[in-house]
């Protein structure tokens, strides 16, 4: 297994529960997956909601606890409670098929041979920066959500926030009180959802993403399918004008962004000090490129968690399972299918005690 965030730990739990001979490799220095790196101001009050890991409960936490502390502590306890041994830090550079085994090659040259692979490497390692002409010429600062330094860095600045997802909405609310001025631009008109996020809504969104990846198309995030929730805070921000949205600009120059005008008229421009790209992430799967899993649609065709090209390779936390809602189920399904493929009988049941999962 590669990756030990929410999706990886869920699969590791089921590997352990079924007594499957396995090894779990993870690039981080400690437990928590990408939560270790979330920005300081993302708290348990502002996360979208966390689903518990299998056979456990998310601990009750003060709303103001930073997610980057709370979730890693929960994951650390979980690994401990269920005796999930994760080898860290191990970064896998590539996975190759030698005709018999899948071989995962680590940055330090170590090799791990396996008959099947569960890959759970998330998206945090691959921030997405869309290309707009002139981006490299801009003389101000540019940050991606991934590197958001906190609202202080925006004090007194003119800021363009780019992107129509929940992170753009959250960061706009954070920086609006301190900036000199801001603009919010998105490619499409944002879709606001004025109803509670129910499990039915979640399931419908997961099914929609599942259908895309079955057809070999690149996945969309589940949150992008559900729309933006109109919480009381977001409603207030809209009413105060903080979330006034403009269409995407067409280019960037040294000092700002520009919207192309009709021939004969001047472009419209906005001078900016900072461009904040809240433009999401892509699946961090470069290490799997030697396996040629991608098809013509640009995505990896999937049947459940299994890749269609190579049934030994399962992706959890990818596409429909790329949220804490889908990750648990995906871990269970992947382990069941791999055991079926390898002809293994069911193992000992709920993991207890602390003996090793690494054989
Ligand atoms: C800002 C932000 C907020 C979010 N908030 C929520 C939320 O509130 N609720 C929700 O359900 N979802 C949320 N999500 C989606 C979230 O990413 C998932 O829910 C979940 O945390 C992802 O878990 P994961 O295990 O797939 O990935 P990760 O937590 O990213 O874990 C992947 C692990 O794999 C390791 N890894 C990666 N590449 C390699 C490699 N080559 N070799 C070895 N190890 C590797 C990483 O180091 C990491 O430990 C949010 C996403 C973002 C970006």
Q: Give the tens place of pLDDT for each residue, 233-286.
A: 899 999 999 999 999 999 999 999 999 987 777 789 999 999 999 999 999 999
Q: Is residue 124 lining ligand 1, measured as CB closer than 6 Å?
A: yes
Q: Give the tens place of pLDDT for each residue, 82-123.
A: 999 999 999 999 999 999 999 999 999 999 999 999 999 999
Q: Report how far ligand 1's centroid is from the alpha carbon of 304 (Å).
A: 19
The pick from 53, 286, 323 for probing ligand 1's pocket by mutation, whose C-beta has the most ligand atoms within 8 angstroms, reads: 323
CATH code, domain carrying 139: 3.50.50.60
Q: Residue 51 CA: which ligand 1 atom is closest? A: 11
Q: What is the pLDDT of residue 353?
A: 41
The least confident of 17-26, 98-107, 276-285, 327-336 is 327-336
Q: What is the pLDDT of residue 147?
A: 96
The kind and range of the H/E element at 339 are helix 324-341
| Interval 30-45 mean pLDDT | 95
Mean of the per-residue pLDDT values of the chain: 90
Q: Which of 140, 130, 262 is nearest to 185 (CA)?
A: 130
Let me know if residue 247 belongs to a domain: yes
Q: Residue 123 CA: which ligand 1 atom is closest? A: 30
The pick from 4, 5, 7 for probing ligand 1's pocket by mutation, whose C-beta has the most ligand atoms within 8 angstroms, reads: 5
SS3 assignment, position 216:
coil
Q: Is residue 186 lining ligand 1, measured as CB closer than 6 Å?
A: no
Q: What is the pLDDT of residue 354?
A: 38
Regarding whether 255 and 187 lie in a shared domain, the answer is yes
Q: What is the pLDDT of residue 349?
A: 55
Regarding whether 291 and 236 lie in a shared domain, the answer is no
Regarding whether 181 and 149 lie in a shared domain, the answer is yes
Q: What is the pLDDT of residue 348?
A: 54
Domain with 269, as residue range(s), is 135-191+227-277
| Interval 172-195 mean pLDDT | 94
Let me know if residue 246 belongs to a domain: yes
Q: What is the pLDDT of residue 161?
A: 98
The pick from 104, 324, 334 for probing ligand 1's pocket by mutation, whose C-beta has the most ligand atoms within 8 angstroms, reads: 324
Select the more confidently predicted residue: 299 or 171.
171
Regarding whether 307 and 260 lie in a shared domain, the answer is no
C-alpha distances in Å from residue 280, one per residue of 144, 168, 285: 9, 9, 15
* Signed CA dihedral, 37, 42, 43, 44: sign only: negative
SS (H, E, C) 270-313: EECCEEEECCCECCCCHHHHHHCCECCCCCECEECCEECCCCCE
**Contact status, residue 12 vs residue 119, Cβ threshold 8 Å:** no
Alpha helices in 122-253 (DSSP H): 166-175, 199-214, 222-226, 232-239
- Among protein residues, the one with the nearest Cα to ligand 1's atom 16 is 323
Of 235, 250, 277, the residue at which a domain comes to its end is: 277
Q: What is the pLDDT of residue 358?
A: 30
Looking at the 3D structure of the chain, how many domains does it have?
A: 2
pLDDT above 50: residue 357: no
Q: Give the tens place of pLDDT for each residue, 53-76.
A: 999 998 888 899 999 999 999 999
Of 214, 246, 277, the residue at which a domain comes to its end is: 277
Using pLDDT thresholds of 50, 70 and 90, give the confidence band for residue 16. Answer: very high
């Amino acid at each position: 297994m590669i990756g030990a965030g929410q999706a990886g730990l869920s699969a590791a739990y089921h590997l352990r529960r079924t007594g499957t001979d396995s090894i779990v490799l993870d690039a981080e220095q400690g437990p928590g997956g990408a939560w270790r790196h979330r920005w300081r101001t993302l708290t348990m009050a502002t996360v979208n909601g966390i689903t518990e890991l299998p056979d456990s409960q998310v601990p009750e936490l003060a709303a103001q606890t930073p997610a980057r502390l709370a979730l890693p502590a929960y994951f650390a306890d979980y690994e401990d409670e269920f005796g999930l041994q994760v080898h860290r830090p191990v970064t896998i550079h590539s996975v190759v098929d030698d005709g018999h085994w899948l071989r995962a090659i680590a940055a330090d040259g170590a090799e791990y041979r396996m008959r099947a692979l569960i890959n759970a490497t998330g998206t945090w390692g691959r921030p997405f920066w869309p290309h707009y002409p002139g981006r490299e010429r801009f003389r101000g600062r540019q940050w991606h959500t991934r590197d958001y330094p906190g609202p202080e860095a925006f004090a007194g600045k003119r800021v363009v926030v780019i992107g129509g997802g929940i992170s753009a909405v959250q960061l706009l609310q954070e920086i609006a009180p301190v900036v000199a001025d801001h603009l919010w631009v998105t490619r499409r008109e944002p879709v606001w959802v004025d109803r509670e996020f129910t499990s039915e809504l979640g399931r419908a969104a997961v099914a929609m993403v599942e259908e895309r990846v079955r057809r070999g198309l690149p996945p969309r995030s589940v949150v992008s399918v559900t729309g933006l929730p109109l919480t009381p805070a977001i409603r207030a921000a809209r009413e105060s004008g903080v979330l006034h949205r403009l269409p995407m600009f067409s280019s960037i120059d040294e000092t700002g962004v520009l919207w192309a005008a009709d021939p004969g008229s001047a472009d419209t421009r906005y001078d900016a000090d900072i461009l904040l790209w809240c433009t999401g992430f892509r699946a961090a799967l470069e290490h799997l490129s030697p396996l040629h899993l991608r098809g013509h649609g640009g995505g990896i065709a999937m049947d459940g968690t299994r890749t269609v090209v190579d049934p030994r390779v399962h992706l959890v936390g990818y596409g429909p399972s790329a949220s804490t809602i889908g990750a648990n189920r995906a871990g269970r399904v992947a382990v069941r299918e791999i055991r079926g493929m390898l002809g293994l009988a069911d193992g000992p049941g709920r993991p207890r005690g602390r003996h090793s999962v690494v054989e």
